[in-house]
Structure 1
């Protein structure tokens, strides 16, 4: 049989592969940070694997439930993005696990001569496990005889070796200096741990437990970036290259998300940005409001929407430029990114998180900055 009998000639076009070897590692993305934003659905799934059981249970094989007996307080200690993850979880610990919770900045904690309660669970959070301030804070807690738990991404790191117990976040290698997927997995693991502790303390109803687990299992779907979202944000980003700064505002768990959104923008765009609780605007910051101030308003439908809307209206009345991120578009918004209708505040949290990450990325790209290696920063802060 002549296999070439009906064949037709084809003109092949050849193009030279990029000389940058990192291009292959980036799997076609422009930056490692961009690739890591898109990986979040996958890594959050891996963080839950074997831990979130569909029957309605949270299981951590690496933890001994006996170590939590008699615990009446949680102290969370971290730096930077990990500190923001700790702040998010502090709302969840008190709301769901019904336990008093404090959050400490590690660089301050180590020098404040802290009064430590022997019945505290001391939780440190670090992407690298080598953060010098957090490591020293852990040393102080261990020396005081506290029970300690590390939430970390790197096995066999210094913090992992020192802590009494460890939960690994399973985010994989994160090359972008500005953390994205490490933050997502930290928040997810802390949320899981909150529900785990609530069950140990017998303070959560079966109905609430089921609702929390159902919401967790839905998060990977939330983190799949919708077609057209990044293009929309790129087109919108041209509005935000000038002016005298940004307010990121939110309430409850969306306040630490506002802090994280402002930090992402600062890290890679070098523009001034601040995160605030929405209700604090009238207590001083609103003095800055004018047509050259950009306000990024996080307006979830399921958490204090009307209160946040009222705060945004106050800023709009002072001519601030408003970017609203919400399922419902407020009339006073200059720009609007619509989020999907969800039944749980944490679902809204993760969707808004990914929007803020992309917004920072696209503003930085327009400004011509090195997204993966921002000036003056290092991936792991191993000195004071």
Structure 2
């Protein structure tokens, strides 16, 4: 949530920063601002609302310079207003800061500073950073930043400039992500890679506690102990086109269509010579033999992938698994010790709740493994092992290809564990791998089979509520399907375990209520079909997502889509595709900005 872009170089800072902020809009925001140090003063503009509001203000006041900081804000402290927007300036107007994250002790700091005579214009936690910088500033911006950092508690990635040192830019990273890019004629810092791609592919992933001090044409990085350090420069392999819409109307539909190739690439990397091979990313037979329980910990869509992963690991590798929400994990007194493996799933590798849970697991001496789409993220650096999704940049807030590649990695992990522990025979192992390899083409076929989905999406666009139902693995998919629809269409959508309808929730079904039933599991289709008959008898309109060529399903459903054939255990990878399309087409039918749904952010870097 929120996003920072800071620049120092020979180009117009305003143009670079605004361009970079546009690349971060997917993260979710409600205001934007920019500040530039030039000719002994700081010029700034900030506006509530979309970035276009800021751009219009800059047309009237075209501030210019070669050193600047920019920000898009998602309100956490104070309403989305011009005053609360970043950047925030010191009382004397000589220092400016943009900040991603939360300052947990800002109230105490604010009270202290007010008693000393400083004043505050905004309701934000961030303004205390600017005021502290003024308090500690004695003609050395770096020293002021160091002293300020010592006083702050929370998560903060910052860009900082001073009117008295107009040839200097400082970046500060504690908990919140910040990437430092090296350009031919300057430097750029941002919250995420897409802001940098136009200008450079040479980046340094700043580590927790790092300060980067840019003066003139050089820079110095200091670690959390204020020691000078060298950080590895990494080459970004994404193309600029990979982070653009490439002819699609929205990023979400582009990323839905990219799932087949993404799965194919993932399998190519992680399956070699007929064996799952994560190289350094998994555990040895000896290490696995000492594990007596597994936790899967994640948030949102990643947690839903974990629900499927629990089923796969228990069914294939015969290891008991508990799936828990990262935001609840630390408060549930989990039974973890050195014989526990905790698997974390995070698309960004920066999810605040998951990062805190990871640190708890480490304190308890558990083994930790991360499934992520982001190399060199905070969680990637801290986990014992990491497995990557190789899905490329996912820009739409609603996750699609990150989810399906997480699923594939969980299946591969289950196979890897099972073969190392001798809990699967060779034929079954090879059979699942072969079916996984066939999935990319089946996904490609499914994303094109969307006419029935488009039609039903138009029907439900004006509905107040909708329900998904399923049993077993289909219920796990239903939970993710319901989240996808509600987050981009704003329709109240719930997932019900189909067998639980008669225990209370069927009271919500009335004439015309839309129900989407997922039916893929051989041993559960008849029972789910009986549940569908229950809702139909009460007036529901049913859309069926099924793997079965069964005239009973066609007879009782108002519309349906039939999935390509695969193993029952693998159907969550296919059955979620129509649900993603349903969410997308319902959102577009309602005229919603599907890539940037209200109140949501792509990377949730605060608790």
TM-score between the two structures when normalised by the length of structure 1: 0.90
For the residues of structure 1 that align with 2:528 and 2:283, how far apart are their CA atoms?
41
| Matched-pair contact (CA < 8 Å) for 1:302–1:344 | no
Out of 48, 52, 59, which is 2:277 matched to? 59
What corresponds to 1:205 in structure 2? 425
Whether 1:236 aligns to 2:456 is: yes
CA contact (8 A) 1:76 1:122 kept: yes
Q: 2:330 aligns with which of 110, 120, 125?
A: 110
Determine if the alignment matches structure 1 residue 29 to structure 2 residue 248.
yes
The aligned counterpart of 1:141 is: 361
Question: Gaps spanning 5+ residues in structure 1: where?
Answer: 1-20
Q: 8 Å contact 1:303–1:345 — kept in the other structure?
A: no
Work out whether residues 389 and 409 of structure 2, in 8 Å CA contact, stay in contact via their aligned partners in 1.
yes
Q: Distance in 2 between matches of 1:285 and 1:94?
A: 29
| Structure 2 residue ranges without an equivalent (≥5) | 1-21, 24-239
Richer in strand (by share) = 2
Cα distance in 1 for partners of 2:593, 2:307 equals 29
Residue 273 of structure 1 and its aligned partner are, at CA, apart by 0.3
* CA shift digits 1:96-137 (9 cap, x unpaired): 100111001110112223232431111110000010000001
Question: Could you tell me the TM-score, scaled by structure 2's length?
Answer: 0.58
What is the 5 A alignment of 1:88-107?
88-107=308-327
Q: Take 2:486 and 2:431, find their aligned partners in 1: how far apart are those partners?
A: 36
Structure 1 CA distance for aligned equivalents of residues 522 and 451 of structure 2? 27
Pick 1 or 2: higher relative contact order, CA cutoff 8 A, min separation 6. Answer: 1
1:367 to 575, 590, 597: 590
Which deviates more from structure 2 when the two are superposed, residues 313-322 or residues 354-363? 313-322
Is 1:332 aligned with 2:556? yes
| Selected match of 1:171 from 370, 391, 398 | 391
Hey, what's the Cα distance between the residues in 1 that align with 2:450 and 2:316?
Answer: 34
CA contact (8 A) 1:51 1:58 kept: yes
1:47 aligned onto 2:47: no
How far did 1:68 drift? Answer: 2.1
In 2, the alpha carbon distance for the partners of 1:224 and 1:132 equals 34
Q: 1:4 matched to which residue of 2?
A: none
Asked whether the equivalents of residues 124 and 150 of structure 1 are also in contact (C-alpha less than 8 Å), the reply is: yes
Give the number of equivalent residue pairs. Answer: 362
Secondary structure of 1:291's counterpart equals coil
Q: Is the 8 A contact 2:308 2:476 kept in 1?
A: yes
Are 1:157 and 2:409 an aligned pair? no
Q: Which residue of 2 aligns with 1:221?
A: 441
**What is the rounded CA distance, in whole Å, between the counterparts of 2:575 and 2:305 in structure 1?**
14
What CA distance in whole angstroms lies between the structure 1 residues aligned with 2:418 and 2:508?
A: 42
Deviation digits for residues 47-71 of structure 1 (CA, Å, limit 9, x no counterpart): 112322353x211102341432311
1:38 aligns with 2:261: no
Secondary structure of the structure 1 residue equivalent to 2:444: coil
Q: Which has the higher helix share?
A: 1
Name the counterpart of 2:524.
Answer: 304
Deviation of 1:231 after TM superposition, in Å, equals: 3.3
Which residue of the partner structure matches residue 380 of structure 1? Answer: 603
Larger-Rg structure: 2
2:468–2:515 CA contact under 8 A, matched in 1: yes
Q: Using a 3 Å threshold, how does the CA distance of structure 1 residues 237 and 64 change in structure 2: closer, same or farther?
A: closer
Q: CA deviation at 1:357?
A: 0.5
- Determine the C-alpha separation between the residues in 1 that align with 2:589 and 2:313: 39
Equivalent residues of 1:237, 1:362 under 8 A apart: yes
Decide whether the 8 Å contact of 1:123 with 1:149 is kept in 2.
yes
Does the 8 Å CA contact 2:308/2:572 hold for their aligned counterparts? no
Give 1:228 deviation, angstroms. Answer: 5.3
Contact 1:249/1:278 (CA < 8 Å) preserved in 2? yes
Give, in angstroms, the shift of residue 254 of structure 1.
Answer: 1.5
